[in-house]
């Protein structure tokens, strides 16, 4: 069975298939700094995981895209304070041009249901 969470015309914010939850890329408010955008994106990830029946301790992998890799340390400062250190996911971080120059970070996760 497939469940779509917050579906729109172009995409769903999350899709649950079996015991796996796929989240679309989460971003912060355009124009905010990278730390604030990271906090906002992570809060949205937590909310979507809760809606799907999971939590951050069940994240299997995270892909983090930064508009400027020079923001790696600032993003990591927020990530390190947020991540479940007893259950850290696999993670990749790279630099990419995002959908708008006002976005500094985009985070995509795949998680297991609780």
pLDDT band at 29 (very low <50, low <70, confident <90, very high): very high
* Residue 114 pLDDT exceeds 90: no
Q: Express as a percent the part of the chain with pLDDT over 70.
A: 100
For 83, half-sphere exposure in the C-beta direction (CA atoms, 13 angstrom radius) is 20
How far apart CA 20 and CA 79 sit, in angstroms, is: 22
- Give the pLDDT confidence score for residue 8 in this predicted structure: 95
> Mean pLDDT, to the nearest integer, of 55-59?
98
pLDDT band at 98 (very low <50, low <70, confident <90, very high): very high
The tokens for 16 are: 């649950």
**Each residue of 26-48: b (16+ CB within 10 Å) or e?**
bbbeeebebbbbbbbbbebbeeb
- Type and span of the H or E element at 36: helix 34-52
pTM of the model: 0.96
> Mean pLDDT, to the nearest integer, of 23-42?
97
- Give the pLDDT confidence score for residue 65 in this predicted structure: 98
Q: Are the C-beta atoms of residues 8 and 15 closer than 8 Å to each other?
A: no
Three-class SS of residue 40?
helix
């Amino acid at each position: 069975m497939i469940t779509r969470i917050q579906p729109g015309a172009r995409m769903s914010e999350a899709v649950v298939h079996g015991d796996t939850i796929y989240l679309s890329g989460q971003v912060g408010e355009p124009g905010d700094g990278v730390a604030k955008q990271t906090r906002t994106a992570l809060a949205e990830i937590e909310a979507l995981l809760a809606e799907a029946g999971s939590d951050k301790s069940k994240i299997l992998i995270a892909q983090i895209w930064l508009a400027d890799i020079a923001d790696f340390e600032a993003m990591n400062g927020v990530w390190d304070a947020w991540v479940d250190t007893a259950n850290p996911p696999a993670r990749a971080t790279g630099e990419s041009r995002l959908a708008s120059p006002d976005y500094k970070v985009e985070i995509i996760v795949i998680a297991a249901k609780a």
